[in-house]
Structure formats: structure tokens, C-alpha cells
Amino acid sequence: MAKQYVMVIQASKCIGCQACTVACKFQNEVPEGQYRTKSPAVGPTGTYPNVKLYFEKEACQMCKNAPCVAVCPTKASYHNEDGVVLVDSNKCVGCKYCMTACPYDARFINEETGAADKCSFCYEHRVSQGEKPACVSTCVGGALSFGDLNDPNSDVKKLLDKYKAEVRKPEFGTHPNVYYIYEGVK
């Protein structure tokens, strides 16, 4: 059976330590000054002393209905067999259509390769080898979970059954495979 890889982010457990940010850079050899993922703070919001703060992990949302794939003139952006959105840098001509189309601002032109770049769920080097993505493996707070939603025993399935989860910008109809659980932080 095909897999449906998803990432679930529990904001209550994210401490904004940026371990994921740095792990991603080394795993994916992302050039200086560029990032596939970052976790900026949202807040503090509210009025002293009643304030709140949480962190929002930003990266490709791995849409099932991906605008980037749809607009790509060279088919460099594509869904692989496990539903992961990837970029074939050899086919990419750097036209930036995908960057314009992405509602999540998740893509950039890699300064080194000249191709569009973004989170790949570490598919090639880790996930296809049975490992978790680099960010998930190093998450100090334990906020990140990754797995196959079609597997009833996966952490991600259990989390999504247990908690109310959201996707970002549902109004775009992109059906992301990255879910956010905000319980306890908003």
C-alpha cells in the first residue's frame, strides 16, 4: 500500500530552540543564509502580564493538491510514489513560478544549485532508509512527529486521532500533509 507521509507539529512542545533549523542545514547542505525550515516565535501577544508565545515551524507543507507541482513547466516539481513533493534540480530551470504559486512561501532558489529548493521530508537520505527526517530526529522538545498516516500504529495517526489538528491556510484547498496541534498554546 502506498504511504502517506505526514508531519505533526505539537506547538505546546516546541521550545523554539532551532535544533531542527540547524540539523536541516547540515543534512541537506543548505547554503549559508538560506533555510528549508525555521521556527520563528509568534508573540508575545496579549498585555502584560497576561501574555502568550509559541513557535511556528515553517517549511513546505507537502500539499496533496500542490500549486507548485501544477505550475511547474518542466515537471521538476513532482509528487513521488509516497506522496512527497520533491524538486528534481536537474530539471528545474529556476523560473520561480512555483515560488509565486506557493501559499506558504516555502521555496527559494538555492544559491549553489540555482534550482528551486525546499523541505523534502529528507526523503532521499533518511526517510527512504527507514529514518525520520533530520528535524524530527533532533527535536529536543519532542514537538515533531513523522510517519505514515496509513499505518494505524504510527505516532502521527495516534496524535491526529487524539488531538484537534489544523493545517495552514486551508482556504487555498492545498490539503497539506503537515498538521499543527495548537492545544495549550493559543
Partner 1 sequence: MEQNAKAELYLAFAAIFQRPRPEISDHLEELIELWAEEIPASRTQVQVLEDFCRKHPAGEKRLNTLWEHYIPLFETGKVEASPYASVHLNREKQVLGTESMAVKSFYEKAGYAIESNGELPDHLAVELEFAALLARDGQEEYLAEFKKVHLLPFLSVILPLIRNSGRPVYAAAAAILQDWQIHSEERG
Partner 2 sequence: MKRRQFLKGVLYGTGGTMVALGGFGTFTKLAPQAVAAAKEEAKTVFSTCEMCTSRCTVAVKVKNDKVVKVEGNPHDGATAGTICARGNAGPSLLYDPQRIKKPMIRTGDRGSGKFKEVSWDEAYAHIADKVKTIQKDYGAETIAFASRVNPQDQFFRLIARAIGSPNTFSHEATCPMSRTTALEGTFGNPYIGADYGNAKYIITMGRNFFEGIHVPMVKGVMKAVANGAKLVVLDPRFSVTAAKGEWIPIKGATDLAFVMALANVMIKENLYDKEFLDQYTEGFDQWVEAVKDTTPEWAEKETGIPKDKIVEIARGFAAARPNALIEYGWRTPWTPNDYQLRRAIMIVNMMIGNWEVPGGYYQKKGAGVLAAFPDQSGYAKPTGGGFGPQPAAPKPAKGRIDGAGVKGTPGQLIPPVDGAVGQITESILTGKPYPVKGWFVHRFNPVISMPESDRLIEALKKLDLLVVCDVYMTDAAYFADVVLPECTYLERYEPIIDQSGLVPKLQLRQPAVPLVYADTKPGWQIYKELGEKIGIGDFFSFKDMEEFLTRQLQPAGLTLDQLKEKGFWSPAGMKPFFMRGNDPKAPAPPTNAPNGKIAIFSHEIEEAVKGEGIPKYKQYPQPEEGKFRFVQGKVAVHTNAGTHNVPVLNELMPQNSLWINTQSAAKLGVKDGDDIIISSGQYEHKGKAKVTEGIRPDTVFAYHGFGRISPELKRAYNKGINDNKLIKNEIGESGNVVTSTTFVTVRKA
- DSSP characters for 103-154? TT---EE-TTT-SEE---TTTTTTGGGTPPPHHHHH-SS--EEEEETT-TTS
By CB under 8 A, name the one of 63, 92, 119, 139 that touches partner 2: 139
**Would you count residue 161 as binding partner 2 (CB under 8 A)?**
no
**Would you count residue 142 as binding partner 2 (CB under 8 A)?**
yes
Residues that bind partner 1 (CB under 8 A): 29, 31-32, 111-112
Q: DSSP secondary-structure letter at 54?
A: E
Residue 24 vs 98, nearer CB to partner 2? 24
- Least distance CB 174 / partner 2 (angstroms): 29
Which residues 2-21 are close enough to bind partner 2 by CB under 8 A? 12-13, 15-19, 21
Residue 46 contacts which entry, partner 2, partner 1, none (Cβ below 5-8 A, type-dependent): partner 2
Torsion angle of the four alpha carbons 78, 81, 83, 84, in this order, in degrees rounded to the nearest 10: -60
CA 61, 54, 56 angle in degrees (round to 5)? Answer: 15
By CB under 8 A, name the one of 53, 111, 128, 186 that touches partner 2: 53
Instruction: Spell out the alpha helix ranges (H) of the chain.
Output: 19-28, 67-71, 97-101, 134-138, 155-162
- Least distance CB 162 / partner 2 (angstroms): 12
